[in-house]
Amino acid sequence: MRPLYVVNNFGQFNHLIHRALRDMDIPVVMVQNTTPPEDVATGCRGIILGGGPALDRAGNCPRYLGLGLPVLGICLGLHIIATAHGGSVRQGRSGGYGPVDVEICEHNDILKGYPEKIRVWASHADEVAVMPPDFSVLASSHICSTEAIARTEKHIYGLQWHPEVSHTADGRRIFSNFNAVTEEHGV
């Protein structure tokens, strides 16, 4: 079975994503965001776009979205997904990292098994301002109306919060759910 790829976008928590998956016995490899798309297409069964400081440092990430593989974007990864599909990102009103109570609006593949509300750890320095067409909102909060979005039929999911940190309630469930998606719909 091919591994999942965690794409390193220079974020401080990318190694924690990799570690969480490894600790869950999910095959995983961390790759740089300059990895050629053809190598990503043939090397993995799903992509996790990790966080990072800015969209202008996202390397080849927008090109990975057209490979037909399942994608999970975390923080900056969400912003890459949104902007590549016609949405936009703005500076958030709340900034900084901290706890946020998120309301699950739709329990689809990626949020299966969660209660109606969960406490997560998120940065809102930037957030999705305009939803990309054909995407739906999966979760929202009083701080941000787009805490999680998806284009479910393409198996593309984005989260504003960080499931890899211990401050997020049951964060590993996200990774377990995404792994199941990639086992069913990945290469």
Q: Region 168-176: what's the mean pLDDT?
A: 97
Question: Which residues are part of the catalytic machinery?
Answer: 75, 162, 164
Grade residue 96 by pLDDT with cuts at 50, 70 and 90: confident
Q: What is the pLDDT at residue 8? A: 96
- pLDDT, tens digit, 9 for 90 and up, residues 45-92: 999 999 999 999 999 999 999 999 999 999 999 999 999 999 999 988
Q: What average pLDDT does range 19-23 have in this prediction?
A: 97
167's tokens: 């401050």
Amino acid at residue number 116:
E
Structure token digits, residue 32: 């740089």
pLDDT at 186: 82
For the chain, list the domains and their CATH numbers: 4-185 (3.40.50.880)
pLDDT of residue 49: 98
Among candidate residues 164, 171, 133, the one with its CA nearest the CA of residue 149: 133
Q: 33-42, 117-126, 156-165, 169-178 — which is least confidently predicted?
A: 117-126
Question: Are residues 7 and 35 in contact, defined by beta-carbon separation less than 8 angstroms?
Answer: yes
- Within 10 A of 91 (CB to CB), how many other CB atoms are there? 10
pLDDT of residue 97: 83
Q: Identify residue 39 by its one-letter amino acid code.
A: D
Token code pair at residue 76: 């900056």
Residue 10: what pLDDT? 92
Q: What is the pLDDT of residues 115-156, one digit of tens each?
A: 999 999 998 889 999 999 999 999 999 999 999 999 999 999
pTM for the full predicted model: 0.97
Average pLDDT, the chain: 95
